[in-house]
Amino acid sequence: MNLDVVILAAGQGTRMRSRLPKVLQPLAGRPLLAHVMDMAAGLTAARLHVVYGHGGDQVPARFPDRQVSWVEQPEQLGTGHAVEQAMPGIADDASVLVLYGDVPLVRPETADSLIEAATRGVALLTVRMDDPTGYGRIVRDRDGRVTSIVEQKDADEDERSIDEVNTGLMAAPADRLRDWLSRLDDANAQGEFYLTDIVALAVADGVPVEAVQAGDAEEVMGVNDKVQLAEAEAAVRRRRVEELMRQGATVADPGRIDVRGQVTCGQDVFLDVGVVLEGEVRLDDRAHVGPYCVVRDSHVGEDAVIHPHSVVEGAGVGAACSVGPFARLRPGAQLETGAKVGNFVEVKNSRLGEGSKANHLSYVGDTTVGRDTNIGAGTITCNYDGANKHRTVIGDRVFIGSGVELVAPVEVEEGATIGAGSTISKRAPAETLTVARSRQVSIRGWKRPTKKKT
C-alpha cells in the first residue's frame, strides 16, 4: 500500500513572538519541521507533502535538498482546508498520514501504529491529559465508540470535562478522506474548515474510527511558544542522553549535559557535568570527558581523558591520550596513542606522535611531531609569515626546551635537543644540542640608577 504523509506547517504561530515562521524555530539545533520530516522520511512512505503558507517561501527555501512536494496554502482557512491542498497530489488507493510541523517529538513506532490502524478505517492519535484545555475532545458513545471530535471553542460544559484529547495526528484512506474533506464546512466558532470534522462524517458513513493512544503526553506536545520550545528542547536532550547511557556511557548528571549531534559511545565512557557534544562525535570504550568540555566533530579513543574546560574540535584523540585541563584542539589536530597536551596548549592542523608531550602554554600549528618528543613550556611554532602558512617538522625523541620559537618552515631532526629560549629558523641536526640565543653577560661594578632629589 502507498503511504502519503502530509505535514501541516502553514500556521503563523503568533505566540512565538518571532520573525521566524514557527516551524523554523530551532529545536536541538535544527528547525522544528526538520524533526518531523526526518521522522516521516524514516517511515516507508511513498511521498512527503508539506503544506506551507505563513512566512511564504522562507519555509521551502530552508530545505532546498529535501525530496518533498511543497504545497502552498495561501490563506490559513483551517486544518481541513490545509490537508485538502495536498490531496490533488495523492492517489486514491493511498493511505494518508497527517502530521503537524509543530509537534516534533512523535516516535516512528507511534506513526506506524496509526498507519496500521488506518487499514481498518480512520485512525486518530489521542492522549489523556490532566488539563485538556485548548484541545479538541474525543467524544464517545455509551459503548465507547468514537463519534466525533469537538473543539474547545465549540464544546459544551459536558464535552469540556472530557480528558481524552485529539493530538491532531490521524491517518485515513485517501479516497474516503478526499470525499469527507470536500464536504467540510466552516460553520463553527472559529469559522474554519476543521480536519477533525471528518470523524463525524466517517461515523455517518459507517467507517470505523479507531483511537490509538499515544505513549505519553510529551511525545505529542505541540510547540506554540518559547516556553514549550524549551520544554521540547529538554525532552530531546533527555532522549539523546538516554541513548548514550544505553550505549554504555555513565553520565554524571543527565540534566547537565547537551548532546546536539550524532554521538556514538563505547562502553564505560564517562561524561561529566557541563559537557557539550556537537556534530559527529565518536567516543570509544572508557573515554573520559571531564567537566565543562566541548567536543565537536571529533573522535576520542579508548582510555583517553579530556580534562576539564577543554575544547576539542575536528580533532582525533588517540587511545590513552591526555588533553587539558584548559586545552584547545582545533581542526586537524591528531594525537597518537598516549600523547599529552596540557593546560593552555593550542594545537591546530598538527600531528603529535605516540607518547609525545606538549604540557604547558604552547602553540603547535601546522606541525608534524614524531614519537616520544617533549615540547617545553611556552614553545611556539611561528607558522605564519603574514601571508602564508608554513610547516614545522619535529622528529622522534626530540627535546625542545622552554620558551622556544620555531620559525617555519623549519625542521628539528630526530634526537635533537633545543636549548631553552632559542629562536630556531634553520634546520637543527639530529642527536645534537642547538642553542640560538645571545650569551649571558654579567657586568661587575654596574650601579642601579637612583631617584634624583628635586
List residues near ligand UD1 by CB under 6 A.
8-11, 51, 73, 76-79, 81-82, 100-102, 135-136, 149, 151, 165-168, 194-196, 222
Tell me which residue has cell 580533532: 315
- In the complex, least distance from residue 362 CB atom to ligand UD1, rounded to whole angstroms: 53
Cβ nearer to Ca ion, comparing 32 with 361: 32
Helix H or strand E encompassing 423: strand 423-424
3-class secondary-structure state, position 381: strand
Q: What are phi and psi of 114, to 5 degrees?
A: -65, -45
Residues 200-239 close enough to bind Ca ion by CB under 5 A: 222
How far apart CA 139 and CA 148 sit, in angstroms, is 5
3-class secondary-structure state, position 406: strand
166 binds, among Ca ion, ligand UD1, none (CB under 5 to 8 A by kind): ligand UD1
- In the complex, least distance from residue 167 CB atom to ligand UD1, rounded to whole angstroms: 6
Angle between helices 108-117 and 32-42 in degrees, nearest 10: 60
Nearest alpha carbon to residue 170 among 225, 232, 220? 220
76 binds, among Ca ion, ligand UD1, none (CB under 5 to 8 A by kind): ligand UD1
- In the complex, least distance from residue 51 CB atom to ligand UD1, rounded to whole angstroms: 5
290 binds, among ligand UD1, Ca ion, none (CB under 5 to 8 A by kind): none
The residues, any chain, with a CB within 8 Å of residue 21's CB and separated by 6 or more, are 9, 12, 13, 54, 55, 58, 59
- In the complex, least distance from residue 150 CB atom to ligand UD1, rounded to whole angstroms: 9
| Residue nearest to Ca ion as judged by C-beta position | 222
Cβ nearer to Ca ion, comparing 15 with 160: 15
Which CA distances in Å does 26 have to 35, 96, 228, 273? 10, 27, 12, 24
How far apart CA 360 and CA 321 sit, in angstroms, is 15
The sign of the dihedral angle between the CA atoms of 419, 424, 428, 434 is negative
- In the complex, least distance from residue 168 CB atom to Ca ion, rounded to whole angstroms: 7
Question: What is the Cα 224 distance to its own chain's centre?
Answer: 21
Candidate list 35, 81, 307, 360, residue with the active-site label = 360
- In the complex, least distance from residue 99 CB atom to ligand UD1, rounded to whole angstroms: 9
Cβ nearer to Ca ion, comparing 222 with 409: 222
77 binds, among Ca ion, ligand UD1, none (CB under 5 to 8 A by kind): ligand UD1
Cβ nearer to Ca ion, comparing 222 with 415: 222
Tell me, what DSSP letter sits at residue 18?
S
346 binds, among Ca ion, ligand UD1, none (CB under 5 to 8 A by kind): none
Cβ nearer to Ca ion, comparing 91 with 230: 230
196 binds, among ligand UD1, Ca ion, none (CB under 5 to 8 A by kind): ligand UD1
Cβ nearer to Ca ion, comparing 10 with 323: 10
How far apart CA 134 and CA 146 sit, in angstroms, is 19
For the question of residue 390 being annotated catalytic, the response is: no
Q: What are phi and psi of 58, to 5 degrees?
A: -50, -40
Q: Which positions are catalytic?
A: 360
Binding site for Ca ion (CB under 5 A): 222
